Amino acid sequence: MNSPVGKYRSFPTIHLPDRQWPNRTLEKAPQWCSVDLRDGNQALAQPMNVSQKLEMFDALVRCGFKEIEVGFPAASNTEFEFVRRLIEDERIPDDVTIQVLVQAREELIEPTMRALVGAKRVIIHLYNSTSPAQRRVVFGLEKADIVKIATRGTQWIKNRLAVLAGTEVTFEYSPESFSATEVEFSLEICEAVMDVWGPTPESPIILNLPETVEVAMPNVYADQIEWFCRNLKRRDCAVISVHTHNDRGTGVAATELGLLAGADRVEGTLFGNGERTGNLDIVTVALNVHMHGIDCGLDFADLGVIEEVYERCTGMSVDPRHPYAGELVFTAFSGSHQDAIKKALAEWKKREGKAHWDVPYLAIDPHDIGRAYSEVIRVNSQSGKGGVAYLLESKFGIDLPKEMQREFGPIANDAVDDLGREVSAEELKSLFWREYIERQEPYVLKHFHSGDTDGVAHCQAHITHNNQPLEVAGTGNGPIAAFVRALQSAGVQVFEVCDYREQAMGRGVEASAIAYICIRTPEGKTRWGAGVDTSIELASIKAVLSALNRL
């Protein structure tokens, strides 16, 4: 790369020594406005057709958006007809306001007003560029001329309000490229527009201050917003809106800091679709609000369904690591992560939700957005015993003892490492079965019978050792002890049972039991075994042979 020195420069900071936003905490959700159908749509290589736009509009309504920018009616017949269809087919709920965009040009304002006839509530969004580069390169005009463009366009709209008799009209103005414009000039042009429109506290104007291109760190944008809010003469007559892009990858941060700086409203798109590196991802900001215990005002309880609609209508895809929505964001492959998640989820379940969410590595409860705990932990060669144990328990109810987890975890990891890929819960269960339940060498149980006489257990068993029959009998303080003595009296290697667990698998008459047994030799060598049977006694006996076969 060539040296940037002399070619690029830092954006100047705002003189605001007593800035307040760093000490503030967000306490309520902003007003949300989706611009998927306009800003998002214009960024697509193949824009949405009418049916796709209708499906997207309905999805946005289900999400709870009360303000939706539906298009640029003067841009094309398709845009105009889409707005008319929404109105004439009565597809707009009574509590939803549609928003349309128009440049400050009279020939574009005329059809825009006609497109809105019959709507209950509308926002007319007027904009013109204000930055020094736009003034110099695009328009070749001075500041006063740029102000005239904005005020004249505002007056043209105001003069035509009679066309929208019976419609509740809100006016929105954007000094496009606000982030790259001198704050003093942004204030000047916005106040000139307010003078023409005449907003009141009861009927405020929306002043949208877009970070059309990210040109500085998000703290500079926050300073711009706070400076503007503090110096606007009639602040009570204006709703301050932010509209950030993601050129520097900090669109979300800029929006959140802008809210702390005094903004009331946020414009953005689902999953950040937009020009260049995209618009603000409104899903991320809303769920960031949600995770701080604030009702965000939007409903993403079925985020996966919204994601499907988005991908189908736009042809775009959501990255697997996308915040909240990505396929892998609630997934842990690291063994230490898996262990922490497993323990914390168990604690959360035990408390029955009567505590604040505090699960390591999971910022929110996946259930909040329609995801399942079974998706939280997956296993590959990087995983540890915690992930393996979690999948077996969550999918099949197999609750391995902790010491057995330490034994099976490395076995599973080696097998997965050989495969070189992620494995499913079903594959893990098959691996566990082969390693423990189905071990048939060298000992196989053919028949077992036990009884009790005066508190002493006795047993008889027919087993094979390397395919040779072996009859054994013994006594003890229980069936397992009796069986161990029976084996050793027949010359089987000496060992003792050092741990025993059991659990039910399933319910009803056909329910099975699984037993886990750990044996130890006089030399201190240990092995776990497992057995499954409808009889817990037989499951235990099978577990003894499983452990013995693994010595």
Residue 22 in domain: no
Q: What is the CATH number of the domain that holds 539?
A: 3.30.160.270
The CA–CA distances, whole Å, from 47 to 134, 206, 278, 439 equal 27, 28, 15, 60
Whether residue 134 sits in one domain with residue 264: yes
SS (H, E, C) 341-360: HHHHHHHHHHHCCCCCCCEC
Whether residue 111 sits in one domain with residue 50: yes
Residue 244 in domain: yes
Residue 236 in domain: yes
Whether residue 349 sits in one domain with residue 309: no
Question: In the listed set 415, 437, 459, which residue is the last one of a domain according to the structure?
Answer: 437
Question: In the listed set 409, 437, 465, which residue is the last one of a domain according to the structure?
Answer: 437
Q: What is the CATH number of the domain that holds 200?
A: 3.20.20.70
Q: Is 315 helix (H, G, I), strand (E, B) or coil?
A: coil
Q: Is 20 helix (H, G, I), strand (E, B) or coil?
A: coil
Q: How far is 115 from 82, CA to CA, in rounded Å?
A: 9
Question: What is the pLDDT at residue 245?
Answer: 97
Q: Which amino acid is at 513?
A: A
| Domain membership of residue 166 as a residue range | 27-314
pTM for the model stands at 0.78
Name the packing angle between helices 77-88 and 50-63 (round to 10°).
50
Whether residue 461 sits in one domain with residue 395: no
Where does residue 491 rank: exposed (0-12), middle (13-18), buried (19+ CB within 10 A)? exposed
Residues in the chain: 551
Nearest to 369 by CA among 242, 264, 236, 271: 271
Structure tokens at 5: 């020195």
What is the DSSP pairing of strand 443-453 with strand 456-465?
A: antiparallel
* First vs last C-alpha separation in the chain: 62
Looking at the 3D structure of the chain, how many domains does it have? 3
Whether residue 132 sits in one domain with residue 75: yes
Q: How far is 298 from 306, CA to CA, in rounded Å?
A: 12
- Rounding to the nearest 10 degrees, give the CA dihedral for residues 81, 87, 91, 93: 140
Residues sharing a CB contact under 8 Å with residue 343, sequence separation 6 or more, in sequence order: 386
Whether residue 306 sits in one domain with residue 447: no
Nearest to 296 by CA among 314, 313, 283: 283
Structure tokens at 188: 């000047």
On whether the CB atoms of residues 353 and 304 are closer than 8 A, the answer is: no
Whether residue 206 sits in one domain with residue 353: no
Q: What is the DSSP letter of 313?
A: H
Nearest to 503 by CA among 485, 488, 516: 516
Whether residue 369 sits in one domain with residue 233: no
Question: What is the pLDDT at residue 337?
Answer: 85
On whether the CB atoms of residues 19 and 226 are closer than 8 A, the answer is: yes
On whether the CB atoms of residues 59 and 53 are closer than 8 A, the answer is: no
Residue 155 in domain: yes
Residue 105 in domain: yes
* Burial track 294-328 (b if 16+ CB lie within 10 A, e otherwise): eebbbebeebeebbebbeebbebebeeebbbbeee
Whether residue 496 sits in one domain with residue 348: no
Q: What is the largest CA-CA distance in the chain?
A: 108
Whether residue 222 sits in one domain with residue 295: yes
Whether residue 363 sits in one domain with residue 271: no
On whether the CB atoms of residues 358 and 345 are closer than 8 A, the answer is: no
Q: Which amino acid is at 411?
A: I
| Segment (H or E) for 223 | helix 218-231
Q: Which residue has the tokens 């500041």?
A: 143
Question: What is the pLDDT at residue 470?
Answer: 94
The CA–CA distances, whole Å, from 28 to 24, 31, 292, 480, 505 equal 12, 10, 10, 63, 47
Q: How far is 352 from 348, CA to CA, in rounded Å?
A: 6
Query: pLDDT tens per residue, the chain (551 residues)?
Result: 899 999 999 999 999 999 999 999 999 999 999 999 999 999 998 999 999 999 999 999 999 999 999 999 999 998 999 999 999 999 999 999 999 999 999 999 999 999 999 999 999 999 999 999 999 999 999 999 999 999 999 999 999 999 999 999 999 999 999 999 999 999 999 999 999 999 999 999 999 999 999 999 999 999 999 999 999 999 999 999 999 999 999 999 999 999 999 999 999 999 999 999 999 999 999 999 999 999 999 999 999 999 999 999 999 999 999 999 998 888 887 778 888 888 899 899 898 878 899 999 999 999 999 986 555 566 766 666 777 888 888 888 899 998 899 899 888 888 888 888 888 889 999 999 999 999 889 999 999 999 999 889 999 999 999 999 999 999 999 999 999 999 999 999 999 999 999 998 876 656 789 999 999 999 999 999 999 999 999 999 999 999 999 98
Q: Report CA torsion sign: 19, 25, 29, 33.
A: positive
Q: How many CB atoms lie within 10 A of CB 93?
A: 10
Residues sharing a CB contact under 8 Å with residue 180, sequence separation 6 or more, in sequence order: 11, 131, 132, 133, 212, 213, 215
Residue 4 in domain: no
Q: How far is 84 from 511, CA to CA, in rounded Å?
A: 62
Structure tokens at 138: 């695009």
Whether residue 463 sits in one domain with residue 392: no
Structure tokens at 405: 């987890």
Question: What is the pLDDT at residue 372?
Answer: 66
Residues sharing a CB contact under 8 Å with residue 137, sequence separation 6 or more, in sequence order: none
Residue 479 in domain: yes
Residue 324 in domain: no
Question: In the listed set 387, 414, 437, which residue is the last one of a domain according to the structure?
Answer: 437
Radius of gyration of the chain (CA): 34
Q: How far is 423 from 368, CA to CA, in rounded Å?
A: 26
Where does residue 286 rank: exposed (0-12), middle (13-18), buried (19+ CB within 10 A)? buried
